């Protein structure tokens, strides 16, 4: 697997994860871990982090020359 393909797949995965966190924070879905409810603010932070990681992955892909 080339750097180009890896960066593309990683970027897509981070976009999906970011979208799920955004939808959760807008709609207000509850996530419960062993009786503890994850606050919405955590999803907002995770949305920002994963959106940045997706941007970085696509930026790396754009700067990669090995497209084979």
The secondary structure of 4-43 as a DSSP string is HHHHHHHHHHHHHHHHHHHHHHHHT---EETTEEPPHHHH
Contact 37, 31 (CB under 8 A): yes
The answer, yes or no, to whether residue 1 has pLDDT greater than 90, is: no
Please tell me the distance from the alpha carbon of residue 25 to that of residue 22, in angstroms, as a whole number.
Answer: 5
> Which has the higher per-residue pLDDT, 48 or 68?
48
Overall pTM > 0.85: no
Which residues 6+ apart lie within 8 Å of 23 measured at CB?
29
Cβ count within 10 A of residue 45: 12
Each domain of the chain, given as residue ranges in start order, spans 3-62
The answer, yes or no, to whether residue 12 has pLDDT greater than 90, is: yes
């Amino acid at each position: 697997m080339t750097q180009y393909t890896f960066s593309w797949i990683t970027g897509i995965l981070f976009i999906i994860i970011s979208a799920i966190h955004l939808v959760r924070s807008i709609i207000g879905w509850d996530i419960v871990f062993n009786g503890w409810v994850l606050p919405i603010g955590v999803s907002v932070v995770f949305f920002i982090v994963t959106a940045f990681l997706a941007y970085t992955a696509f930026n790396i892909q754009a700067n990669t020359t090995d497209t084979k």
